[in-house]
């Protein structure tokens, strides 16, 4: 997993800003259309053409949730948030 610093993006769900992104499934930098998970609230998002965050379409959401890796990442993120060890 590689960390990328880039354009600041605001989560449409929680309003938190992030300028750091990681690719959990490889080393490619963020690209328009890629799926993202908000570091703070865990919402599943997409990268827009300008690399800001945007809500996923229903089809994109369904496709992302069909990938077992995405489900594992969401579960892991939820577990970290529920333990209260980060992002407070």
Buried b (16+ CB within 10 A) or exposed e, 59-78: ebbeebeeeeebeebbeebe
Average pLDDT over residues 70-83: 80
**Is the pLDDT assigned to residue 88 strictly greater than 60?**
no
pLDDT (tens digit per residue) in 12-70: 999 999 888 777 677 788 889 888 888 888 889 999 999 899 999 999 999 999 999 88
Give me the CATH topology for the region 2-83.
Rubrerythrin, domain 2 (2.20.28)
- The percent of the chain in helix, strand and coil, each rounded to the nearest 5, is 25, 30, 45
> 């609230």: which residue's tokens?
41
DSSP letters along 38-54, please? Answer: -TTT--EEEE-TTS-EE
For residue 77, the model assigns a pLDDT of 78
Name the more confident of 33 and 82: 33
SS3 56: coil
Domain boundaries, the chain: 2-83
Q: Contact, 16 vs 40, CB < 8 A?
A: yes
For residue 72, the model assigns a pLDDT of 86
């Amino acid at each position: 997993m590689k960390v990328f610093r880039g354009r600041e993006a605001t989560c449409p769900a929680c309003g938190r800003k992030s300028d750091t992104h990681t690719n959990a499934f490889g080393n490619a930098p963020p690209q328009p259309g890629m799926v993202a998970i908000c570091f703070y609230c865990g919402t599943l998002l997409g990268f827009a053409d300008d690399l800001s965050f945007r809500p996923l379409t229903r089809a994109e959401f369904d496709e992302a949730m069909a990938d077992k890796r995405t489900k594992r990442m969401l579960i892991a993120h939820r577990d970290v948030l529920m333990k209260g060890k980060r992002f407070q």
